[in-house]
Amino acid sequence: MQDMEQWMHKIEQWMHNIEQWVRQQPVEQFYAALAVLIVTFAFFAVLRLLKPAKSNTIVLAGLSGSGKTVLFYQLRDGSSQQGTITSMEPNEGTFMLHSEMEKKGKLKPINLVDVPGHSRLRPKLDEFLPHAAGLIFVVDALDFLPNCRAAAEYLYDILTKASIVKRKVPILILCNKTDKVTAHSKEFIRKQLEKEIDKLRTSRNALSTADIANEHTLGVPGEPFAFSQCRNKVTITDASGLTGEVSQVEQFIREQVKP
Amino acid sequence: MLEQLLIFTRGGLILWTYRELGNALKGSPVDALIRSCLLEERSAETSFSYEAPAGGGSYTLKWAFHNDLGLVFVAVYQRILHLLYVDDLLAAVRREFSQIYDPKRTAYDEFDEIFRQLQKEAEARAEEMRKSKQFNRAPPVAGKKQRPGQRAGSQGNGKQKGGKVGSGKDDADGESGKGRGLSNGSSNGQENGIKEPSRAPSVLVKGKENGAPEVGAFDVNKLQKLRPKGGKKTDAGGGGGKASKAEQKKMVKKNRVWDDSPPESRLDFTDPADEKGDSIVDVVATDQGESMMDKEEIVSSESESEEDEGVESAKPGTKKKGWFSSMFQSIAGNAVLEKSDLTPALKALKDRLMTKNVAEEIAEKLCESVAASLEGKKLGSFTRVSSTVQTAMEEALLRILTPKRSIDILRDVHAAKEQGKPYVVVFVGVNGVGKSTNLAKVAYWLLQHNISVMMAACDTFRSGAVEQLRTHARRLQIPIFEKGYEKDPAIVAREAIQDASRHSSDVVLVDTAGRMQDNEPLMRALSKLINLNNPDLVLFVGEALVGNDAVDQLSKFNQKLADLSTVPNARLIDGILLTKFDTIDDKVGAALSMVYISGAPVMFVGCGQSYTDLKKLNVKSIVKTLLK
């Protein structure tokens, strides 16, 4: 007990000494110190606010064989080189779009990512989605019907991911390979996809309380699903990666990545 | 003659193709190679054969990697030809191309000339080898017997592709012997690649009549020298693994409670008056709680650093170069991964996988595949070999266990419903794995999603099988189609499906008798059942306790189904149901073995003996457990 009292006494003495010392300092110094502290905090706060600058990443996703890699090289170089093959790894590049090389003016370079479509490599998409400013979902308009279900499932998975819904990432559904005669029209593809997703909605929502893979529900319950019901903007257009008719794609990209 | 030689990046862009022959390839062999071989972690195999659909040609494909630049070199040729120079050519092409490669360029037309030259040289060398082979037919027969023994030891050496003359000498002695024994390049093609630097020593060996056996003895000694080095690693790896497992055991052994239903009093289902099985039966229906299929699994996201620390403590320093120089190199980031660097880390990983009950063959193949994908790669700065290998293995495991097609059964059932036919699932497997129990669990889960189910008792052999299913059916209040015992299961199944469409049941679950994979008549009967009824899903039921036998079971089941099929596109195993998962603590390797050998995804996991104990496979947690 005596030790405790001694300690207490000592602490009181120290406090007293500190107080005296503090009182002795000129007041201006305090104000200066305080000012410096406040400025530093303000600086960091401003930095924090400014940090979520709009990223310039556009993600290309879609089933295997839909033409993502061709599109990637088309946007980068203006030609699809000697052909492509099933990708095993993502293609990533930061560049100016080929058609904009001639344009004057300061345009922000785009970080384009082509994620492989093979189902075993799906988890790679999750690495790039949190930074995406826009997503282009490439659909093979030529060979559409056999793959309709798989494409719809992939699209459904993307539309219900948290990183897409929360950040309202705009999605462009691109019907590729329209240079071929037997390619389907974008209206047809849109209707088919909406129908399939509607069916998926009922079968996936049946999974009671905990939604296992999907974190959000789509659309309005009771009404058939339509892309206009999504909280993020979903548009549909067509293009041809091989021949280079990608003007609408470039327009979409430019809208998302503003200089 | 070579049909095509392709050089492409791992991202999918074709950089250069061999343009001499004008005829296009039939089908798409390179795509098939990527999808069924390279992405399935079988990149350590020597060749891949492809049959173009609709009677096109059949090709053999060989490949080589340049892991540092991310390039893949693939050669395609007709299967009936046995070209010996392909491996050699691929190695030479790789060497030359990596010198002119530039990531920014996409056209390499000047390579045509270089390639033509390389091809001529390779063909000339192959001609010479063939001629020298013909002089040397006698000794290889004696040497051949010793080959299988040293395969493990020299296989690692054999993987060193062309150009390494210094270390090539030792390998060459073993490999050229093998090369002589086997005539075509289709199975041990690797050895042909070593022929060029090994030409000198092989001339020496050729002279002696008993050259081969002595070469064999030499290699066995080398193997024994390698073994103790590997043994040290195993002990360290095993010790580290055991320590962490012991800790785990203390935490894991507590009372097994899944959901908050009142189970204890209802565990005893025996009915007092149930002799004939006709009297009052407890109707279980859907009041046992939610099936675990619908519950989200809470995966603990422990930090990766824990695993890394465990890994590092388990592997006491790989002392190939001096400690200082290796430290310096890992900081500067210039070390190129060699086979010798990878071997100890891979061996430790393989042993760790085997302690987790992965079949030995599968662990071996996986390690080779990871080695093939890492060789020649530059180490990043501040990374060690072991962490690079660990990351690569983790990615590989994740890739294998991720299903390559959708496993959404509910969607398939709805699709079949729209077409007006019942969705038929057949449960196959060896004896005693839990087919009937898990069939009931699947029925329970489907019932919870408002799908009408019917059971078909096609196990007409085991005593009590029909009664067992009848009891389940009564508890779940679903119809059962049975014809008693000693009937042909295929006919019973067919009638059950017809009955189901009459009563508009959405799903038919067909229970079959357990059978060993070696039993020829039983496998034939199973194949008849599947051919006759063409089910929508063939589910292989395997227990998680199985060890190396999983490989044998699955491969033989698939083989028999393919051989005895009447249609060209044979029905193989479509999915796996893994049972008795609660009995293994963290020895989850059986899942990996089964998925790797069959390529089919794990659709359900049975983790207990009541109706709610059915869940989905959580790939990330399995990978984490396997590499812990």
Note whether B589 and B462 are same-domain residues. Answer: yes
Shortest Cα distance, chain B CAs vs residue A28, angstroms: 48
Q: Residues of B with CB below 8 A from A210's CB?
A: 294-296
User: For residue B66, which amino acid is it?
Assistant: H
Note whether B368 and B497 are same-domain residues. Answer: no
Q: Residues of B with CB below 8 A from A98's CB?
A: none
Option in B8, B403, B410 nearest A119 (CB): B403
Backbone angles phi, psi at B53, to 5 degrees: -70, 160
Of residues A223 and B167, which shows the higher confidence score?
A223
Option in A83, A88, A206 nearest B38 (CB): A88
SS3 B186: helix
Retrieve residue A244's tokens. 């280079």
* B306: in domain: no
The pTM of this model reads 0.68
User: What is the C-alpha to C-alpha distance for residues B543 and B432, in angstroms, rounded to an integer?
Assistant: 9
Give the pLDDT score at B307.
38
Interchain proximity B404–A119, CB inside 8 Å? yes
Helix axes B435-448, B465-476, angle to 10 degrees: 20
Query: What strands, in cross-sheet order, belong to the sheet with A132-140?
Result: A91-95, A110-114, A57-62, A132-140, A171-176, A234-238
* B223: in domain: no
Shortest Cα distance, chain A CAs vs residue B100, angstroms: 18
Task: Pick the range with the lowest mean pLDDT from A19-28, B356-365, B432-441, B536-545.
Answer: A19-28
Q: Residues of A with CB below 8 A from B6's CB?
A: 85
Q: Tell which phi-psi region holds residue B317, choosing left (phi > 0), alpha (psi between -120 and 50) or beta.
A: left
Q: Tell which phi-psi region holds residue A104, choosing left (phi > 0), alpha (psi between -120 and 50) or beta.
A: beta
Q: CA angle, B88 as apex, B86 and B89 as ends, to 5°?
A: 65
H or E segment and range at residue B575: strand B575-579
Q: What is the CATH number of the domain that holds B579?
A: 3.40.50.300
Note whether B396 and B521 are same-domain residues. Answer: no
Option in B8, B17, B410 nearest A206 (CB): B410
Note whether B520 and B421 are same-domain residues. Answer: yes
**Is A12's pLDDT higher than 80?**
yes
Out of B70, B96, B128, a domain closes at B128
Give the pLDDT score at B508.
92
Please say whether the beta carbons of A131 and A58 come within 8 A: no
Segment A168-190 shows an average pLDDT of: 85
Note whether B356 and B426 are same-domain residues. Answer: no
**Is B147's pLDDT higher than 70?**
no
SS3 B400: helix
For A215-229, the DSSP string reads -S--S-TTS---GGG
Note whether B376 and B436 are same-domain residues. Answer: no
* B189: in domain: no
What is the chain A residue with the closest CA to B400?
Answer: A120
> How many CB atoms are closer than 10 A to CB B126?
19
Q: What is the DSSP letter of A201?
A: H
* B141: in domain: no
Tokens 């991720």 — which residue? B402
Note whether B461 and B385 are same-domain residues. Answer: no
Sequence-ordered strand ranges (E) for chain A: 57-62, 91-95, 110-114, 132-140, 171-176, 234-238
Residues of A with a Cβ under 8 Å from any B Cβ are 64, 69, 73, 77, 81-91, 114, 116, 118-123, 149-150, 153, 199-200, 202-204, 206-212
Option in B35, B294, B296 nearest A86 (CB): B35
Out of B401, B423, B452, a domain closes at B401
Shortest Cα distance, chain B CAs vs residue A197, angstroms: 11
Our count of domains for chain B comes to 3
Q: What is the CATH number of the domain that holds B114?
A: 3.30.450.60
Taking CA atoms, A202 is separated from A224, A258, B537, in Å, by 10, 38, 22
Tokens 């974008």 — which residue? A186
Note whether B477 and B599 are same-domain residues. Answer: yes
Shortest Cα distance, chain B CAs vs residue A92, angstroms: 9
Please say whether the beta carbons of A245 and A184 come within 8 A: no
Mutation choice for A interface testing from B411, B596, B604, B621 by most A CBs within 10 A: B411
* B292: in domain: no
pLDDT tens per residue across span B223-270: 555 555 444 444 444 444 444 444 444 555 555 666 555 545 545 454
For residue B51, give the nearest of B75, B33, B63, B73 by alpha carbon.
Answer: B33
Please say whether the beta carbons of A249 and A176 come within 8 A: no
* B258: in domain: no
Range of B118's domain?
2-128
User: What is the C-alpha to C-alpha distance for residues B461 and A114, in angstroms, rounded to an integer?
Assistant: 55
Note whether B19 and B114 are same-domain residues. Answer: yes
Interchain proximity B290–A208, CB inside 8 Å? yes
Please say whether the beta carbons of B353 and B623 come within 8 A: no
Strand partners, B543: B579
Option in A90, A120, A153 nearest B39 (CB): A120
* B165: in domain: no
Note whether B82 and B121 are same-domain residues. Answer: yes
Backbone angles phi, psi at A60, to 5 degrees: -105, 120
Out of B85, B109, B128, a domain closes at B128
pLDDT tens per residue across span B460-480: 888 888 899 999 999 999 989
Residues of B with a Cβ under 8 Å from any A Cβ are 6, 8, 10-17, 30-31, 34-35, 38-40, 70, 72, 106-107, 290, 294-296, 398-400, 402-406, 408, 410-411, 414-415, 448-450, 616
Complex confidence, ipTM = 0.70
Give the pLDDT score at B424.
92
The dihedral over CA atoms of B388, B392, B393, B399, expressed in degrees to the nearest 10, equals 160
Option in B15, B72, B414 nearest A199 (CB): B414
Give the pLDDT score at A105.
57
Give the pLDDT score at B225.
54
SS3 B190: helix
Shortest Cα distance, chain B CAs vs residue A187, angstroms: 23
Sequence-ordered strand ranges (E) for B166-305: none
* B515: in domain: yes
H or E segment and range at residue B7: strand B2-9
Sign of the alpha-carbon torsion through B527, B532, B534, B539: negative
Interchain proximity B6–A86, CB inside 8 Å? no
Task: Pick the range with the lowest mean pLDDT from A202-206, B219-223, B612-616.
Answer: B219-223
Give the pLDDT score at B19.
62
User: What is the C-alpha to C-alpha distance for residues A210 and B295, in angstroms, rounded to an integer?
Assistant: 6
pLDDT tens per residue across span A82-106: 778 888 888 888 877 766 666 655 6
pLDDT tens per residue across span B168-194: 344 444 344 343 434 443 444 344 434
Note whether B464 and B593 are same-domain residues. Answer: yes
Note whether B430 and B545 are same-domain residues. Answer: yes
Tell me the average pLDDT of chain B: 73
Retrieve residue A215's tokens. 């974190």
Mutation choice for A interface testing from B5, B6, B10, B13 by most A CBs within 10 A: B13
